[in-house]
Structure 1
């Protein structure tokens, strides 16, 4: 078994000794240096699995060492030790390429978590994954998607907060998942939350948890999203939709690496990496005053831009083939493929909804097309989805279902009509699905799709 080695760089002998004792107890061999020059000499002579450096050194600072390691020993993760509360310095170090940071006075529990996380980057399976161009979740062969895959691999080696920008439907959550899966936290939870989907009055409880009885309706303890992601990654999608009051509390939780559940008197430490995204122009919202500048500064340590689908049209054939294969598997149907004309049409389309719109177009075409080949006419781009007739007052002419005059759940009502129509067609054809589909005026695939969607298989 290979022993991990760490280089400790600090001009204070007491600090070096404390760090050495902690790491040796973790089974890690240590070397130490009192200054920048010595640290460079030691790293040139022999690489280390990890470097811990103080910010203030007699002949330079920790960021100088971070930059040098990035150039000469990029495989070595380096963490900086900053003065308490000096977030500006910590963010500067992360931007320079530091793996993570820890503040003085050093909390040994936090230090051990950081060291364990950094050393996972040296594991053989992680090294292999970093040296291949396995597309993973980011499919495509365009230069834009290759560059994005390369950036996610590099960012996976860091614990720096990443802000992912891009249009709706472009795949921002997939990018976040790839950063998580390729990093040292891959074995821990990846928790994604749409900030715009949580009612403002429930946000604090959803994020930080609550104690039983802390408010009306709190019938049991709840751990919240931060603690659910402990040890892993928390992805804040549509972070621009957070109200200002919640932005303040979120900033404190990120900076203190701790949360206080509603009704709790003490803070609970959490170890998470924050990734965030929005399709909105966050710098513009900061200027308008609807998004806090200090929070923006904290989550936007590194920005990663996801290209829209129209800028990587050569990826459309690969994406389309993958989507159609997935749909066929999900609905247990024979696979379908695009005709050359349909593929050419898709390549010329602007895709304002990006990859998500491509998925919707292909799923609709797959369910409505009788043939194994989807042609241009089957795509129905720019048209409303083909579905059952809209409801009318009184009784529906086909089903005899009465439409209530008062309030109702429209989705449940239409689903009930659809269920009744399918049941009648199946009964009339003695459960011959091909004949039932013809009787309903839909394709066999469309019937299979609806049976699975309605749980009628």
Structure 2
């Protein structure tokens, strides 16, 4: 791991942070001036910092000037600004320059370490995302419908215009949004994505626009929202059709005049952000029903891209399947499996209601569960074989094929068959979204099957933390779902989960769900 750089002219501050981070096994490198930091960056002798922690007032330059120069060279680097309470206004101004967070002096050491660790996790996530983006083709597809999408991305490559992406769940709308960002004039800026349907209504406003310190109970520090995090880049609003009606008004104002306010704030902030929105819903119908503002719809619908479902681009299924099988094999460190011609033909005829995401999950399942290197028709998951048998039944020349025996594991669909159909409630495990047993015919315990598949995949990796990893993810989903059902009310969520108030508070802190 790259070191955390500490810039402060006070040796006692540097010493305290160095020792505290050393106890957490986090490497550090210290500097006494902004010039020393810039010289080290220019020297390039090492990889640079994982996180930069800088004082706001130092001889030879300020932390704000350092922030501005560092962000020009390393826009994704998290920078934490340390400040005395009297410098709080300056620290707030630092957020305009892209600071990750501010640390008031004198600071509580455990809280300072926690903040730095959070910044490290954010930095590592960004590195993984960039590596994945660089190593993986953005979007795969040779079908005419996908070629139309590629041409549209090319035509929009020099534009800042708002784009609305429509398509069924799992069809790859975020990949298209990332491609639009990568090939735009804002490519060097951040790409920030938020699923507006996944965040409780009461928290979404703060998530989008940020909040001032003391804006509401629990708002102990100023927080930057996604609009500020995306400054100079692109903000991707997924599932925009599910945005609460009252928040639609605030979003419309930002798109109209380019300014917004943090929750509890009184100063307008100018937004320099390109907005790309996506939905699997029929927005015209939502407008007619009064669930979506017509003026916001027209503001978003400047350029519209329709992403075809996988059943409309069947000729891409072999290409995608080979890619996902190779990707899964690399992830599990095993030899890639391949599909026989007969198995590939059956897969190509399957409708894939969960689209590309379902095909990816299916290939991961085959990598773990198929008994041989060559995957035959009999090795395919039960839902694919059941669909094959249904297609055969109408033929009078053939006897009715008996349904295959249910397998211990299968890859369920995670999306509606049509864009207008509602998405069923679902558990998400390891990227696979699994409908509840009542929603999957012939699969009475689908979520348990998916859990078993995920455990087997982790065990195949040789990991020794499978219990903790899966329990943590299950607890996270349980608490997030309960909070969403109770609109963020913790006590009610704890009661409905059957746990104590102190337990849910502790778990929220442990799991980073604040």
Partner in structure 2 of residue 235 of structure 1 = 236
Contact 1:324 1:335 survives alignment (8 Å) = yes
The answer (yes or no) to whether the contact 2:459–2:466 under 8 Å persists in 1 is: no
**Structure 2 equivalent of residue 374 of structure 1:** 375
Aligned length: 275
For residue 196 of structure 1, report the CA deviation from its aligned partner: 0.3
Q: Distance in 1 between matches of 2:467 and 2:160?
A: 43
How far apart are the structure 2 equivalents of 1:270 and 1:444?
46
- Contact (CA 8 Å) 1:368, 1:445: kept in 2 or not? no
Distance 1:336 1:443 in 2: 20
CA distance in 1, matches of 2:236, 2:169: 16
CA distance 1:452–1:279, change in 2 (3 Å): farther
Partner of 1:294: 295
Q: Which residue number in structure 2 is paired with residue 65 of structure 1?
A: none
Deviation string for 1:64-106 (max 9, x for gaps)?
xxxxxxxxxxxxxxxxxxxxxxxxxxxxxxxxxxxxxxxxxxx
Q: 1:453 to 1:323 in 2, by over 3 A?
A: farther
2:324 is the counterpart of 1:323: yes
Q: Given the superposition, is the C-alpha separation of residues 367 and 147 from structure 1 closer, same or farther in structure 2, using an over 3 Å criterion? A: same
Q: Distance in 1 between matches of 2:310 and 2:464?
A: 30
TM-score, length of structure 2 as denominator length: 0.50
Partner of 2:251: 250
**2:268 alignment counterpart:** 267
Give me the whole-angstrom Cα distance separating, in 2, the residues matched to 1:336 and 1:263. 55
Spell out the pairing of 1:301-450 with structure 2 (5 A cutoff). 301-382=302-383, 386=408, 447-448=459-460
Counterpart-to-counterpart distance in 1, 2:376 and 2:218: 53
Residue of structure 1 in register with 2:44 after alignment: none
Kindly state the Cα deviation for residue 441 of structure 1 after the two structures are TM-superposed: 12
Q: Which moved more, 1:362-371 or 1:199-208?
A: 362-371
1:215, distance to aligned residue in structure 2 (A):
0.6
The 1:147/1:253 distance shift into structure 2, 3 A limit, reads same
The answer to whether structure 1 residue 208 and structure 2 residue 201 are counterparts is: no
Aligned to 2:179: 178
Partners in 2 of 1:162 and 1:245 — Cα distance?
22
* Distance change (3 Å), C-alpha of 1:333 and 1:449: same
**1:447 Cα deviation (Å)?**
4.2
The residue number in structure 2 matching 1:217 is 218
- Residues 88-135 of structure 1, C-alpha deviations (whole Å, 9 max, x = no match): xxxxxxxxxxxxxxxxxxxxxxxxxxxxxxxxxxxxxxxxxxxxxxx9
RMSD between superposed Cα atoms in Å = 2.9
Distance 1:212 1:161 in 2: 32
* Alignment equivalent of 2:466, drawn from 423, 429, 454: 454
Q: Is the 8 A contact 1:209 1:262 kept in 2?
A: yes
* 1:368/1:452 CA distance change after superposition, 3 Å: farther
Change (3 A) 1:257 1:347: same
Question: Do the aligned partners of residues 239 and 441 (structure 1) sit closer, same or farther apart at CA in structure 2, a change above 3 Å counting?
Answer: closer
Shift of 1:136: 3.8
* Runs of at least 5 residues in structure 2 that lack an aligned partner in the other structure: 1-135, 385-405, 411-426, 430-451, 470-514
Q: Distance in 2 between matches of 1:352 and 1:441?
A: 21
**TM-score, with normalisation over the residues of structure 1?**
0.56
Q: CA deviation at 1:455?
A: 7.6
Q: Any idea what SS the aligned residue of 1:235 has?
A: strand
Note the residue ranges of structure 1 that are not aligned, 5 or more in a row: 1-134, 389-408, 412-439
**Alpha-carbon spacing, 1:296–1:335, altered in 2? closer, same or farther (3 Å):** same
**Matched residue of 1:156: which SS?**
coil
Classify 1:373/1:451 alpha carbon distance in 2 versus 1 (closer, same or farther; 3 Å).
Answer: farther
Structure 1 residues 346 and 268 mapped into 2: Cα distance closer, same or farther (>3 Å)?
Answer: same
What is the DSSP-based 3-state SS (H/G/I as helix, E as strand, rest coil) of the residue aligned with 2:165? strand
Change in CA separation of 1:362 and 1:166 when aligned onto 2, cut-off 3 Å: same
Report the CA distance between 1:442 and its aligned residue.
12
1:365 offset after TM fit, Å? Answer: 1.4
Contact 2:382 2:407 in 1 (8 A): no
Contact 2:365/2:453 (<8 A) preserved: no
Shift, 1:320, TM fit:
0.7
- Indicate if the aligned counterparts of 2:201 and 2:244 stay in contact, CA closer than 8 A: yes
Q: CA offsets, 1:211-241, max 9 Å, x none? A: 1111101121110000011100011110000
Seen in structure 2, the aligned counterparts of structure 1 residues 223 and 291 have a Cα distance that, compared at 3 Å, is same
